[in-house]
Structure 1
């Protein structure tokens, strides 16, 4: 790299020292010297993460509780065949994947408190309707609507977190909120067993009460979310003006120049669509979400082949607890060591071992042990921190997250069909496909940072002599102008693994 070229760290220092930069990119002057960063971020954590974890807890439980309901004769009562059941699971994923990119752009143009609460209320109502279906057509209809309204929650939460935290903190924060998915899986089994005691109450079977009660709770939380969710740092009511300024400056020092707000422009969407990293991320998420949905939708069914329905629902709890612990541990370790490469290799080995055992095993006990290995590898592998931390520009980041997560989720349509009734009790084909997914996602190795270190992405900056600068990378009056316009394509931006 040329001596005249500013790297990421020196650029941050230059920003702080330059009155011109402060005027252009910083919020209004405020005295932030007395602010204790650790205490402030701890307070932000308490305001942001627990409630988001609750929202995703309900999001994941409401999409997956159909597996618990199935064990209590849902398909029998509604005269639904195994093939029809798999189709009903499949149709959920098409609107879910399609609406994720659009939903994230709407979220940014509106406010998280409005958009996330609205989505949640709508899918809560749809979940209640699950309890009143009578046939296959009704099941397909409610699953399609559930996919529409649940689509925006997960990518929306990831984008929302990226609007509050530095890139080096993303893994831990997302791990905390995503661990609620494992908790929901565990709680869903326990709750299904408890609600089964209501069988016959009001003339409704217990599987209907699973949907009705969980849907009602979701609706209540949706109403509360409108007042509880704080939108962005620049408007958060629980922060003082000095604290808002401190948080925004903190993000801008982390190459998040859009932290103080960004007006919507179509070019940000085109930047995402033309960026090769968007398409690579979409491929990577195929390997993340395929195993995730296969595990969550069919774990009760897999265990049920060796145990009764109630025991099978109860036995789903310990693997999810293992997944929760592993998710949090991996998020913390990844952020502290500054890379998730070696952690990814460990997760690959653990997940592969688990599914190899599931393929070869003909023992219920051994297969149950392998499920623990699978859970401890699948849930920590959901690497939305990678995308959220490596895309600059609020609208570009929101759309890219929607694209990557949406395409990954379309693989849920395949996952919903790989555990067929005729393959029971050992489901060799299903386990083999999940193993292939795990292998695919570990094929990717990222080399873009090295190209930037060699100066291959350097822009032409007026007044700066740089032998590596190339007009193909753009020409700008200042480094600051290049940063604002190019976002994560700026030559000084570095990707974190």
Structure 2
């Protein structure tokens, strides 16, 4: 997972990354100390590689487990449905859709405030608390005996799960450089597809507990998966470092090198980067953020539709409940591998738009196959294209919006807006798969196909806009910096970076 270290001039290393060290309250002496490192020596490059490898082995697995449990505990209602939840609680399709939908409303409402508060609370405290609470809620879900009880539990689940995904993306952006971020997001996000595979296997095994203790199989799905989340949540208080400076596995020298390279990659400083609503507003005014908002919405509609309803789709293709759980494993397993590979390629070529378009090709082909055939075997085979093609887009677009938003609170807002849009798509998806329309789901498949093509088109428009903005900043550099220039700092110095954020002429948008 480690990548080669790019050559960084020592002059640039005097600017220190805000997202990584906000809580450190760096003194001027610390800043001068960081500026003394020469990062482009072979010795420093090798030491940085070792340090990044340590982060990969200690931070990424924990974040992967967090998101794995988040997606597992949110999407296991699909497996519970196949195991008899809807029938045992005497719910109609309409009521089931409501129970799923209410998860996303508080989920969406919690994403932006939580991202703005993450630095203040501390990810080392906030993330474990959230995981422990939602694990408790999932466990109690197994005791529900009515539609209303299930709906209330799902609403509270959404409230505490909402902060996790955008929080992890923001958190990792304080550990890795912009060109490294996509593949790291892929490793933790690919656990979503892995959770889909694991959930099917686990649900098939847990179904054998039907009747034990007087409880239905679907109750045991919630009990076992929820209690596991509680256990991990408690242990994780000792597993999450607040910043790279707080890592128990890095030497002091490695910490200094990591901070210096992050400083060169994201030139924004802690002393001037205090919270202000103007940074929040900046995200709302960014054209590229709104273009990505559209991409996120279309992707979220497709992704959550597959996550929540794929076991039901497989069952309606003519398979038993237990066999449907098992057959849902394959597409998600392939999705895991493809997601990591696609994100690695995106980081490798330092591009987001072209990989996004290429990734979506299998999805377009898969939806076309599903739409154009009546053969159930071909329909099932199409899932092996649809799931990887949709799941693999998320790390790329998540890294893209993070890469191009600065400073910290603008980035926090942009990331949160992206996931708000994703979950708005999730709300739409819950109403697109009524049982009476299966297994073909003709109109839904057409919509998903159109959205997949739309993601390609809007992604290319966003790349064109960012390219235009880069050229404009080059042409108008002196004019943009003039309000911040002084005789001591003709380029405006740190103040220009913080005030202009990603609009700074020396900040190059990633295409």
Q: What TM-score do you get using the length of structure 2 for normalisation?
A: 0.88
Q: Structure 1 residues 284, 474: CA separation in 2 closer, same or farther (over 3 Å shift)?
A: farther
Query: Structure 1, residues 329-382: CA drift from partner, whole Å, max 9, x if none?
Result: 101111111213332222222111100111122111000110001012011111
Q: Which residue of 2 aligns with 1:488?
A: 502
Q: Does 1:458 align with 2:470?
A: no
Measured in 1, the distance between the counterparts of 2:9 and 2:278 equals 26
Q: Which residue of 1 aligns with 2:326?
A: 314
Higher mean displacement: 31-40 or 130-139 = 31-40
Q: Which residue of 2 aligns with 1:436?
A: 450
Q: Does 1:476 align with 2:485?
A: yes
User: What's the offset of the Cα at 1:107?
Assistant: 1.1
Pick the aligned partner of 1:328 from 332, 340, 350: 340
User: What's the offset of the Cα at 1:274?
Assistant: 2.7
Query: Structure 1, residues 196-245: CA drift from partner, whole Å, max 9, x if none?
Result: 11111111111100001100000111111111001112333433332222
Measured in 2, the distance between the counterparts of 1:12 and 1:108 equals 29
Contact 1:71 1:309 in 2 (8 A): yes
Measured in 2, the distance between the counterparts of 1:260 and 1:313 equals 53
SS in 2 for 1:491: coil
User: What's the offset of the Cα at 1:470?
Assistant: 4.9
User: What's the offset of the Cα at 1:25?
Assistant: 10
Q: Which residue of 2 aligns with 1:449?
A: 467
Contact 1:248 1:259 in 2 (8 A): no
Query: Structure 1, residues 294-316: CA drift from partner, whole Å, max 9, x if none?
Result: 00000000000121001100001
Measured in 2, the distance between the counterparts of 1:436 and 1:452 equals 30
Structure 1 residues 109-188: aligned runs within 5 Å: 109-188=120-199
User: What's the offset of the Cα at 1:11?
Assistant: 9.7
Q: What TM-score do you get using the length of structure 1 for normalisation?
A: 0.91
Pick the aligned partner of 2:315 from 304, 314, 318: 304
Q: Which residue of 1 aligns with 2:388?
A: 376
Measured in 1, the distance between the counterparts of 2:424 and 2:72 equals 19
SS in 2 for 1:378: helix
Q: Which residue of 1 aligns with 2:349?
A: 337
Q: Which residue of 1 aligns with 2:96?
A: 85
Measured in 2, the distance between the counterparts of 1:359 and 1:45 equals 41
Measured in 2, the distance between the counterparts of 1:267 and 1:135 equals 46
Q: Structure 1 residues 415, 237: CA separation in 2 closer, same or farther (over 3 Å shift)?
A: same
Q: Which residue of 2 aligns with 1:265?
A: 276
Measured in 2, the distance between the counterparts of 1:211 and 1:262 equals 43
Pick the aligned partner of 1:15 from 12, 16, 23: 12
Q: Does 1:27 align with 2:23?
A: no
Contact 1:124 1:216 in 2 (8 A): yes
Q: Does 1:104 align with 2:108?
A: no
Higher mean displacement: 210-219 or 91-100 = 91-100
User: What's the offset of the Cα at 1:82?
Assistant: 1.1
SS in 2 for 1:234: helix
Measured in 2, the distance between the counterparts of 1:350 and 1:432 equals 15
SS in 2 for 1:257: coil
Contact 1:286 1:441 in 2 (8 A): no
Contact 1:32 1:242 in 2 (8 A): no
Q: Structure 1 residues 429, 290: CA separation in 2 closer, same or farther (over 3 Å shift)?
A: same
Measured in 1, the distance between the counterparts of 2:269 and 2:333 equals 37
Contact 1:452 1:458 in 2 (8 A): no
Q: Does 1:251 align with 2:262?
A: yes
Q: Does 1:231 align with 2:242?
A: yes
Measured in 2, the distance between the counterparts of 1:171 and 1:24 equals 33
Q: Gapped runs of 5+ residues in structure 1?
A: 1-8, 460-465
Q: Gapped runs of 5+ residues in structure 2?
A: 1-5, 16-25
User: What's the offset of the Cα at 1:10?
Assistant: 11
User: What's the offset of the Cα at 1:440?
Assistant: 2.0
Measured in 2, the distance between the counterparts of 1:23 and 1:196 equals 58
Measured in 2, the distance between the counterparts of 1:330 and 1:474 equals 42
Measured in 2, the distance between the counterparts of 1:457 and 1:45 equals 39
Q: Which residue of 2 aligns with 1:189?
A: 200
Q: Structure 1 residues 356, 194: CA separation in 2 closer, same or farther (over 3 Å shift)?
A: same
Structure 1 residues 361-400: aligned runs within 5 Å: 361-382=373-394, 383-400=397-414
Structure 1 vs Structure 2 CA RMSD: 2.4
Q: Structure 1 residues 482, 160: CA separation in 2 closer, same or farther (over 3 Å shift)?
A: same
SS in 2 for 1:164: coil
Pick the aligned partner of 1:419 from 422, 429, 433: 433
SS in 2 for 1:176: helix
